[in-house]
Amino acid sequence: MPQLSPTTRLPRLWTVLNLLLLVVGAAIVLWPLAVVAITSFHPPGAIAGSEAAQVWTLASYRDAWQRGNFVRAFANSTLVAIAVTALQILTSALAGYALARFRFRGRQAILLAVLTALIIPFQLVVVPVFLVLKWGHLINTYAALILPTAANGYGIFLMRQYFTTIPIELEEAAALDGATRWHILWQVMLPLARPAIVTLFLFTFIGEWNDLFKPLIFTTRPELRTVQLALMSFQDQFSNDWPLLMAAVVIATVPIVLLFLVGQRQFIEGIATTGVKN
């Protein structure tokens, strides 16, 4: 057998070490998910390690689906997530394009304000938001779940950064053909910014789907209960039915996982091409 030189062995050794680190990292990340999935197939009320836990069944999924009223919860979460996502894409595209292409006094100050908004948690402004919603008689309505996050500093910054990567010559060519700013934005810029839009869509939709804070603070009506509030109903004060709870977690997680798998390529492209550019 031919002997490998030291210069050849070293890269192969690093490759093996990197592969081992990736395997270990993947095992650490996937192990809790595997525990959740396995526990969800135990009978309701089964205790880990008991004889009942050795039986695999879909009974926990059936009971969780009925107890959590997930049909209604899915409908509410989907409605809120789609509405917030659509509004954020609209507001982020308009504001991001203005900050990327227009030259006006105070532009940098506005951009700085947008970046500052990124570090302010929503919980810090929940009291004035609640008072505004109460003044507008919007508490316990879908508007209370949608309007507070209809615009987002991260989305504005993301779209602004992506628009700066698009050559301005494309806009100049469209302007020479008689296109207005409005047509340039909707027919030239937005189609080219599809990776950034998909990235914003995934971030916003997943964030709204997993949001517990707004439904918990702004709503009390059972018919407005979202998926995260439905999950809370499976947690008792002193004990939990773990197979039932894990089945509910899997039910609530599957739609998000499927959504990410569909848009992961555009998501990675949007993250990779949206760098910091002045």
Which tens digits make up the pLDDT trace of 191-210? 988 888 988 998 899 999 99
Domain annotation covers residue 179 = yes
Q: Which domain holds residue 87?
A: 59-273
Decide if 33 is inside a domain.
no
Q: Look at residue 159 and tell me if it is in a domain.
A: yes
In angstroms, rounded to a whole number, what is the distance separating the alpha carbons of residues 168 and 151?
A: 26
21 or 272, which is more confident?
A: 21
Residue with more model confidence, 131 or 260 = 131
> Predicted confidence band at 273 (pLDDT cuts at 50, 70, 90)?
low
**Residue 68's closest CA among 269, 272, 222, 265?**
222
Cβ atoms 125, 237 nearer than 8 A: no
**7 is a domain residue:** no
Cα–Cα–Cα angle for 174, 178, 179, rounded to 5 degrees: 55
The CATH number of residue 107's host domain is 1.10.3720.10
Cα dihedral: 202, 205, 206, 211 (round 10): 160
Q: Is 235 helix (H, G, I), strand (E, B) or coil?
A: strand
pLDDT of residue 86: 95
Contact 87, 150 (CB under 8 A): yes
pLDDT at 2 > cutoff 60:
no
Domain assignment present for residue 23? The answer is: no
Q: Does any domain span residue 24? A: no
The per-residue pLDDT for 7 is: 57
Q: Are 208 and 84 in contact (CB under 8 A)?
A: yes
Angle at 258 between CA 253 and CA 262, to 5 degrees: 150
**34, 217 Cβ separation under 8 angstroms:** no
Element (H, E) at 101: helix 70-101
What is the mean pLDDT of the segment spanning 145-149? Answer: 93
Domain count within the chain: 1
User: Quick one: pLDDT band at residue 277, thresholds 50, 70, 90?
Assistant: very low
Highest mean pLDDT among 48-52, 83-87, 191-195: 83-87
Q: Which pLDDT band holds residue 52 (cuts at 50, 70, 90)?
A: low
Whole-number average pLDDT of the chain: 85
pLDDT of amino acid 66? 87
Say if 160 falls within a structural domain: yes
Does 228 map to a domain?
yes
| Tens digits of residue pLDDT in 170-191 | 888 888 888 888 888 888 899 9
> pLDDT by residue (tens digit) across 207-237?
999 999 999 999 989 899 999 998 888 877 5
Contact by Cβ (8 Å): 228, 256 = no
Please name which of 245, 264, 263, 249 lies closest in space to residue 210, comparing C-alpha atoms: 249
pLDDT band at 269 (very low <50, low <70, confident <90, very high): low
Answer whether residue 241 shows pLDDT above 90: no
85: pLDDT confidence band, cut at 50, 70 and 90?
Answer: very high
| pLDDT on residue 9 | 62
Q: What mean pLDDT is predicted for residues 99-122? A: 86
